[in-house]
Structure 1
Amino acid sequence: MTDNKTSPTLLIHAIRKAPQYIHTIQPPLFRASTIIFQSTAHLFDRHWTDAYDYSYGTHGTPTTYTLGDQLAQLEGGKYCLLAPSGLSAINLVNSTFLSQGDEVWVPDNIYGPNMEHLRNLQQRYGIIVKVYNPIDADSFAPSAKTKLIWLEAAGSVTLEFPDLKNLVKKAQQASVLTALDNTWGAGLAFNAFDFSDEHLTIDITVHALTKYPSGGGDILMGSVITQDQTLHHQLFKMHATQGICVSGDDSAQITRSLPHMYLRYQQQAESAKVLLEWLKQQSEFTQVLHPTDPNSPGHEYWKEICIDGKSAGLVSVIFNSKYDMHAIRRFCDALTLFKLGFSWGGPMSLVMLYDLKHMRVLPNTHLQQGLLVRFCIGLESAQDLIQDIQNALKQLK
């Protein structure tokens, strides 16, 4: 190496390097596209199926593998892949397991963007999309073409808790893959890989890490978790060929948030239950939806599966049908602590309004007629949130 002290080479190949072996509370952050191989032996003796394939940044670094290991352990799985968002993780599952002519079943309360993706696959590649009622396992009728069933516990927006046991039993009997959007439960409300006395298990879970694991409303990421190595390798191959990867910085942020996720989940759930009891007393609402409430659709299924009565911090209300969209918009605009925005799981409470007529395929006799508003509870005082809703209800008149 040149002796020139101003050589640009020295800016890349430093003469001194601090030792890399200290132990800290937070693991080191690795940012990498290129990963340096120690020798040609390390280059050629590796394989993409290795537990930790350090070959290129898209496959993984210690930072991303650390987060994946923690998430797999949290949810009761063995293998984890990370994606740039929850929807990206969902699309990875669909792209891996659905081919032309395959049939996929989805709940009527499916996460909207997942349905959009499946409709696109249906139009372009001939995927057959069937819809079932999540609280009626008899409405799921798999055929010889059925490859995959999507499950949500609880379902998007209307929060029905599905008949998970019977749906999974029917899927297993028909050799149909089960994929669960586990964002609501977050790996805390129940173990998707062992959720009954009969040790029933989901094949694949998808988790929008954007929500509770992030906890700050500022990180987009998703995970796909399995216990079966064959399924994992199928997913991993598609993951690699599509170039799906995540930022080391974002992964480190989520790793930093995981230790207190349980406390945040628990606090938001408790506040949601306080709001639930108050909302049920308000005449403006004809129905209040929350799986812990005995009158909420699917309550009996929630009760038999969720551990120690756990639930997420979301509550939906259906307004009396005499209130039109203009009135509901006035209500939402009048809220001050609840901010109008998608997502949930962060420190700030959010609200969103929906017209179910444009979101459901099947007749929903378990739901009242009227416009729906979903409250996503943050970390504010429950009494302050109640006061905020109380003040905004005045705008309905």
Structure 2
Amino acid sequence: MRESGSPPCQPRPETQLSRLGRPAAHPGPVNMPLHRASTIVFDTVAELEAAKAARFDKGTMFYGRFGTPDVFAFEGAIATLSGGVGTVAVPSGLAACVLPLVAFLKPGDHVLVTDSVYEPARTSLQAFIARSGVEVSYFDPRAGAQIAGQMRANTRLVYLESPGSLTFEVQDLPAIAAVARDKGVLTMCDNTWASPLYLKPLSLGVDLVVEAATKYVVGHSDAMIGTVTAADAAHHRLLRQAANWLGYRISPDDVYLAQRGLRTLAVRLERHYRTSLDLAAWLEGRPEVRRVLHPALPSHPDHALWRRDFSGASGLFAVELDTSKAGATIFAEALQLFSQGFSWGGYESLVLLTDPAHARTATRWDGQGTLVRLYAGLEDAEDLRADLQAGLERLKAFTNG
């Protein structure tokens, strides 16, 4: 029996968020200080040479690009939350998406990519990775175990994203990971939508998980940072090496903001989740809306997978309006609390008109109206609903006029 007053053996995520990555020494500051450093100095040649030999090991101070105590603390916090052996922090979410491709692919290899992949990552795959002699092909995000039929002898990596950040297909991660592992193929998953609190792809058999910490981890739209977390120590070391050869280096100020964002991640995510689900359910009943794409809604085709694998949902979802782009523009520009802009994960609500059709090769976007992506921020849910209602009324007037 645990002694009275002692901490729980396995703290819940909310408790972990208040403790991970903090300085160990006491007395001392509750927050990890910033470390602005390029050159690291040593007292002896032997110390310098030992640091150089261990420069890819976690926690080794060698040169600023390889990391400083604040970076190591942040990486350790993300690794713990994700259930991995180690994390590499990089300058942006896109950098995190690209890093495993550089680390594990070589000319002649083949990578299978979900057709719902983050569009800038698709562009990087076509404009950069394919140019280096890597074969890139795309698969239906709902393929599940049927992805085995698209595996080739030279397939090295399967790139997943669940759900997709425009059309919100939830992938059967355990089924795909099992097929890939049987064939000796690595899997990576973009987990930005759910964060490590609501989905843990590594626990489902995925090898690598990437996130745009720019979004929910930072949480305030004022810093850019990405993370790649590995389930295997050898993979983590290869990622650290590739990050160095690419010259990746993150700002100590951005690391500080990301660490601070972690402290409130759980309470913010719960608010985003509840507000988005409330708005999504309400929008399903509006005549101007053809359908709502939110995995937490029972009407979503992948709702059962979401219930099985996720413990919560994001503030990001989409609606297909029963109108043209001109009508959707009227709707979006009528909104006062939803600003037009890319990204998400901050405290502010956002709206974005989008057309997935031009970024599909393995599947076809079957929308008949106009897809509008919505992000529910931290504003009051009733105020956001009223704003959306006003926008829909403007759309109705446009349609009837």
What is the TM-score normalised by the length of structure 2? 0.89
- Aligned amino acid, residue 193 of structure 1: L
Q: How many Å apart are 1:153 and its aligned residue? A: 1.3
Q: How far apart are the structure 2 equivalents of 1:71 and 1:284? A: 41
Which residue of the partner structure matches residue 286 of structure 1?
290
- Range moving further from structure 2, 135-144 or 232-241: 135-144
Query: Which position in structure 1 is the counterpart of 2:221?
Result: 217
**Structure 2 regions of 5+ residues with no counterpart?**
1-24
SS at match of 1:58: helix
Q: Which residues in structure 2 correspond to 1:249-268 (within 5 Å)?
A: 249-268=253-272
Equivalent position SS for 2:31: coil
Report the counterpart of residue 12 of structure 1 in structure 2: none
Partner Cα distance (1:67, 1:362) in 2:
37
Q: Look up the match of 1:357.
A: 357
Pairing of 1:225-304 with structure 2 (within 5 A): 225-304=229-308
1:42 to 40, 47, 54: 47
Distance, in Å, in 2 between the alignment partners of 1:386 and 1:392 is: 10
The residue that corresponds to 1:23 in the other structure is 28
Matches of 2:183 and 2:299, distance apart in 1: 32
Mapped to 1, the partners of 2:133 and 2:48 lie a distance apart of 41
Paired residue secondary structure (1:194): helix
Letter of the aligned partner of 1:388 in structure 2? D
Shift of 1:274: 0.6
Deviation at 1:222, TM superposition (A): 0.2
72, 79, 88: which one pairs with 2:79?
72
Local SS of the residue matching 1:45: helix
Question: What amino acid maps onto 2:309 in structure 1?
Answer: I
56-65 or 288-297, larger mean C-alpha shift: 288-297
How far apart are 1:335 and its partner, in Å?
0.8
Q: Say whether residues 1:104 and 2:111 are aligned partners.
A: yes
Point out the structure with max Rg over C-alpha: 1
Q: Structure 2 CA distance, aligned partners of 1:192 and 1:85? A: 20
Give me the TM-score of the superposition, normalised by structure 1: 0.89
Alignment RMSD (CA, Å): 1.5
How far is 1:86 from its partner?
0.4
Distance 1:83 1:108, change over 3 A: same
Deviations, residues 306-335 of structure 1 (Å, cap 9, x unaligned): 13xx11111200112xx2111111111111
1:123, distance to aligned residue in structure 2 (A):
4.7
Shift of 1:23: 0.8
2:191 to 179, 182, 185: 182
Is 1:203 aligned with 2:207?
A: yes
Give yes or no for contact 1:215–1:345 (8 Å, CA) kept in 2: yes
Q: Deviations over 1:270-289 (max 9, x none)?
A: 00111011000011111101
Partner of 2:7: none
Conserved 8 A contact 1:121-1:127: no
Q: Is the 8 A contact 2:140 2:363 kept in 1?
A: no
Secondary structure at the aligned position of 2:192 is classed as coil
The alignment partner of 1:187 has SS state of helix
Matches within 5 A, 1:331-346: 331-346=331-346
**Matched residues, number:** 368
**Does 297-306 or 56-65 show the bigger shift?**
297-306
Q: What is the CA–CA distance in structure 2 between the aligned matches of 1:139 and 1:229, rounded to whole Å?
A: 27
Q: 1:22: how far off?
A: 4.5
Q: CA–CA distance in 1 between the matches of 2:65 and 2:189?
A: 25
Shift of 1:269: 0.3
Contact 2:208 2:228 in 1 (8 A): yes
**Does structure 1 residue 162 correspond to structure 2 residue 171?**
yes
Partners of 1:85 and 1:207 in 2: how far apart?
A: 9
